Amino acid sequence: MPKIKVNGRELEAAAGKTVIQACFDAGIFVPHYCWHPGLTPAGNCRMCLVKVTMPPPAPPPRGLSIACMTNVAEGMDVVTESPEVNKGRRDVLEFLLINHPLDCPICDKAGECTLQDFTFQYRGGLSRFQEPKTIRHTKDLGPNIKIWGNRCIVCTRCVRFCDEQTGTGELCVIDRGDRSVVDIFPGIPIDNPLSLNVVDICPVGALIDKNFLFQARVWFAQETNTVCASCSRGCNTKLTAMDGHLKRHVSRPNLDVNKYWMCDEGRLNVRYVDGPKRLKSGRGGAKELGAAAKSIVARHGPGSVACIGSSYQSVEELHLFKKLAGALQATRVGILSRSVGQRQTFKGGFVIEPDKTPNRAFAELAFGADALTSGVESIAAGIKDGSVKGLILMNGIPGLEWPSSLVMALQKLEWLAVIDIEQTPAASAAHVLLPAAVWAEKDGVFVNVDKRAQRIRRAVNPPPGARPEVELLQAALIELGIGERVLSAEGVFKEVARTWPEFVGLDYAKLGTLGAPLVKAMAGAPA
Among positions 276-335, residues that touch another protein (CB under 8 A) are none
All residues at 6 or more sequence positions from 486 whose CB lies less than 8 Å from its CB, including other chains? 470, 471, 474, 475, 478
Residues in a beta bridge with 140: 146
Q: Which of 56, 124, 186, 464 binds another protein (CB under 8 A)?
A: 186
Q: Which of 30, 50, 154, 379 binds another protein (CB under 8 A)?
A: 154
Mark the segment that binds another protein (CB under 8 A) among 53-61, 168-176, 248-256, 360-368.
Answer: 168-176
| Contact indicator for 158, 166 with CB cutoff of 8 Å | no
Q: Which of 86, 138, 180, 405 binds another protein (CB under 8 A)?
A: 180
Q: Which of 73, 104, 110, 172 binds another protein (CB under 8 A)?
A: 172
> Which CB atom, from 95 or from 272, has the smaller least distance to another protein?
95
Size of the site for another protein (CB under 8 A): 44
Q: Find the shortest distance in angstroms from Cβ 107 to another protein.
A: 19
Q: Find the shortest distance in angstroms from Cβ 115 to another protein.
A: 11
All residues at 6 or more sequence positions from 100 whose CB lies less than 8 Å from its CB, including other chains? 115, 150, 151, 153, 204
> Which CB atom, from 168 or from 258, has the smaller least distance to another protein?
168
63 binds another protein (CB under 8 A): yes
Cis ω before 358 (30° cut-off from 0)? no
Q: Find the shortest distance in angstroms from Cβ 276 to another protein.
A: 38
| Contact indicator for 234, 227 with CB cutoff of 8 Å | yes
The DSSP secondary-structure symbol of 27 reads T
Q: Find the shortest distance in angstroms from Cβ 113 to another protein.
A: 16
CA distances from 51 to 6, 79, 82, 119 (A): 10, 5, 9, 20
Q: Find the shortest distance in angstroms from Cβ 155 to another protein.
A: 9
All residues at 6 or more sequence positions from 91 whose CB lies less than 8 Å from its CB, including other chains? none
Residues 17, 21, 27, 28, CA torsion sign: positive
Q: Find the shortest distance in angstroms from Cβ 100 to another protein.
A: 9
DSSP string for residues in 243-312: TTEEEEEEE--BTTTTBT---HHHHHTTGGGGSTTB----BS-HHHHHHHHHHHHHHH-TTSEEEEEETT
| Contact indicator for 438, 421 with CB cutoff of 8 Å | yes
Q: Which of 62, 126, 464, 484 binds another protein (CB under 8 A)?
A: 62
> Which CB atom, from 70 or from 474, has the smaller least distance to another protein?
70
| Contact indicator for 417, 434 with CB cutoff of 8 Å | yes
175 binds another protein (CB under 8 A): yes
132 binds another protein (CB under 8 A): yes
- 383: nearest Cα among 418, 420, 408: 408
Pattern 473-502, another protein, x by CB under 8 A: ------------------------------
- 247: nearest Cα among 225, 277, 279, 273: 273
Q: Find the shortest distance in angstroms from Cβ 45 to another protein.
A: 6
> Which CB atom, from 21 or from 168, has the smaller least distance to another protein?
168
Q: How many CA atoms lie within 13 A of 10 on its CB side?
A: 5
522 binds another protein (CB under 8 A): no
Q: Find the shortest distance in angstroms from Cβ 442 to another protein.
A: 42
Residues in a beta bridge with 369: none
Q: How far apart are CA 74 and CA 87, in angstroms?
A: 27
351 binds another protein (CB under 8 A): no
Pattern 12-51, another protein, x by CB under 8 A: -------------------------------xxxxx----
Pattern 79-108, another protein, x by CB under 8 A: ---------x--xx-xxx-xx---------
List the 65-66 sheet strands across, edge first. 9-12, 3-6, 77-79, 49-53, 65-66
- Interacting residues with another protein (CB under 8 A): 43-47, 62-64, 69, 88, 91-92, 94-96, 98-99, 128-132, 134, 153-154, 168-180, 183-188
